[in-house]
Each structure stands twice: as structure tokens, then as C-alpha cells.
């Protein structure tokens, strides 16, 4: 069965520090997709990134970067020069193909990031 583990329950940093959120996944599929979502205090889920299992290139988007390592089944997320607005719960998720071709997301338990001024 698919499983996503986010071992860090809560992280607290001071503004401008870099922070890395860990994500480890388990799957028997050879083709799969990984995602990160942000849930700010207002509660909505904001899509950040989707990565397929065949693309191990790291990705950078502004202050955000993602490190995908198939060998260790990890998909870690780094925020550089953190800001107070980055305070949120961050969820890593793995796609699970369902019958009929649709997919569901299997979420980790989330990491609550607090960035203090």
C-alpha cells in the first residue's frame, strides 16, 4: 500500500533561516507522482509542485526547491530565506492509481512550520 511519512511534526525557525521539510514515501508502482501542498492558517490546500517518478531533476521555484531522490524514496522540500508568510502546514502526497484510471492522493501527516520574526 502507498504510504507517505513526514517525520517532522513541527518545525520552528527564525525569519531568513533556510528550512528543509522531509518526505519519505513507499510504493510498489514504477510510475507515480509526488506532490507538495501548503495549508496556511486559513485552511485551504494550495498546490505547490507535482513531480513524476521518471524525473529526478531537482526543481527550484523562487525561494522553494525540491530534492527528489528515488534511491532513498525521498522528496524533500527546502524553503530558502524563510518568511513569516511561509508559516503553514505542509503536506507531501503520493498518487495512487485507482480502478478506472483516476487517482487519489495519499497524504502524509503534515509538518507544521512556524517562522518567527
Partner 1 sequence: EPEVTQTPSHQVTQMGQEVILRCVPISNHLYFYWYRQILGQKVEFLVSFYNNEISEKSEIFDDQFSVERPDGSNFTLKIRSTKLEDSAMYFCASSEAPSYEQYFGPGTRLTVT
When asked if residue 109 is in the footprint of partner 1 (CB under 8 A), the reply is yes
Q: Which residues on adjacent β-strands are paired with residue 78?
A: 20, 65
When asked if residue 64 is in the footprint of partner 1 (CB under 8 A), the reply is no
When asked if residue 91 is in the footprint of partner 1 (CB under 8 A), the reply is yes
When asked if residue 108 is in the footprint of partner 1 (CB under 8 A), the reply is yes
What element of type H or E holds 77?
Answer: strand 74-79
In angstroms, what is the minimal distance from the CB of 98 to partner 1? Answer: 4
CB 39 within 8 A of CB 90: yes
Grid cell in block for residue 96? 495512487
Grid cell in block for residue 94? 503520493
Rounded Cα distance between 55 and 91, Å, is: 20
Sign of CA dihedral 74, 75, 80, 82: negative
In angstroms, what is the minimal distance from the CB of 32 to partner 1? Answer: 9
Stretch that binds partner 1, among 21-29, 39-47, 54-62, 78-86 (CB under 8 A): 39-47
Q: How far apart are the first and last CA of the chain?
A: 41
Stretch that binds partner 1, among 11-19, 57-65, 74-82, 100-108 (CB under 8 A): 100-108
In angstroms, what is the minimal distance from the CB of 96 to partner 1? Answer: 8
- Interface with partner 1 by CB under 8 A: which residues? 33, 35, 37, 42-47, 50, 52, 91, 93, 95, 97-110
Amino acid at each position: 500500500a502507498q504510504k507517505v511519512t513526514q517525520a517532522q511534526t513541527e518545525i520552528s525557525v527564525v525569519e531568513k533561516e533556510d528550512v528543509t521539510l522531509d518526505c519519505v514515501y513507499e510504493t510498489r508502482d514504477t510510475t507515480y507522482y509526488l506532490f507538495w501542498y501548503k495549508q496556511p492558517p486559513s485552511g485551504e490546500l494550495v498546490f505547490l509542485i507535482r513531480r513524476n517518478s521518471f524525473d529526478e531533476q531537482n526543481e527550484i521555484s523562487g525561494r522553494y526547491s525540491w530534492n527528489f531522490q528515488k534511491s532513498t524514496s525521498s522528496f524533500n522540500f527546502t524553503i530558502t530565506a524563510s518568511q513569516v508568510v511561509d508559516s503553514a502546514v505542509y503536506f507531501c502526497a503520493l498518487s495512487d492509481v485507482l480502478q478506472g484510471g483516476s487517482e487519489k492522493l495519499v497524504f502524509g501527516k503534515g509538518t507544521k512550520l512556524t517562522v518567527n520574526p
